[in-house]
Amino acid sequence: MPKFLVITAVLVVAPLVFIQCGNGGSAAEMYPALTPKLPDLTGATTISGIVKFEGKIPVRRTIEMGGDAWCKSHQDKEKAQETDLIVSESGGLKDALVLISKGLEAYTFDYEKTPAVMDQVHCMYVPTVLAVRTFQPVEFRTSDTTNHNVNTLNSVHGQGFNKSISGAGSKIDWQFRKPEVNMRVICNIHTWMRGWVHVVDHPYFTLTKEDGSFTLPNVPPGTYEVEVVHHLLGTKRQSVTVAANTPAALNFALTKK
Ligand SMILES: [Cu+2]
Q: What is the SS3 string spanning 58-117?
A: CCCCECCCCCCHHHHHHCCCCCCECCCCCECCCCEECCCEEEEEECCCCCECCCCCCCEE
Q: What is the pLDDT of residue 19?
A: 35
Banded model confidence at residue 8, pLDDT cuts 50, 70, 90: very low
pLDDT digits over 92-139, tens only?
Answer: 999 999 999 999 999 999 999 999 999 999 999 999 999 999 999 999
Q: What is the pLDDT of residue 139?
A: 97
The pairing of strands 116-121 and 137-141 is: parallel
> From the CA of 229, how far away is ligand 1's center (Å)?
26
Q: Which secondary structure element, helix H or strand E, spans residue 44, and what is its range?
A: none
Going along the chain from its start, the domains and CATH numbers come out as 3-26+37-254 (2.60.40.420)
> From the CA of 197, how far away is ligand 1's center (Å)?
17
Is 182 in contact with 200 (CB distance < 8 Å)?
no
Q: What is the pLDDT of residue 156?
A: 96
Per-residue pLDDT at 17 exceeds 80: no
Q: What is the mean pLDDT of residues 172-185?
A: 97
Q: What is the pLDDT of residue 177?
A: 95
Residues with CB under 5 Å of ion ligand 1 are: 148, 187, 189-190, 193
User: Comparing C-alpha atoms, which of 116, 115, 125, 132 is closest to residue 151?
Assistant: 125
Banded model confidence at residue 160, pLDDT cuts 50, 70, 90: very high
Q: What is the pLDDT of residue 66?
A: 79
* 14: CB partners within 8 A, 6+ apart: none
pLDDT digits over 27-75, tens only?
Answer: 567 999 999 999 999 999 999 999 999 999 999 999 988 778 999 999 9
> From the CA of 65, how far away is ligand 1's center (Å)?
11
User: Comparing C-alpha atoms, which of 49, 102, 50, 42 is closest to residue 245?
Assistant: 42
Q: What is the pLDDT of residue 13?
A: 42
Banded model confidence at residue 78, pLDDT cuts 50, 70, 90: confident
Q: What is the mean pLDDT of residues 195-209?
A: 98
Average pLDDT, the chain: 90
> From the CA of 77, how far away is ligand 1's center (Å)?
17
> From the CA of 170, how far away is ligand 1's center (Å)?
13
| pTM for the predicted model, two decimal places | 0.89
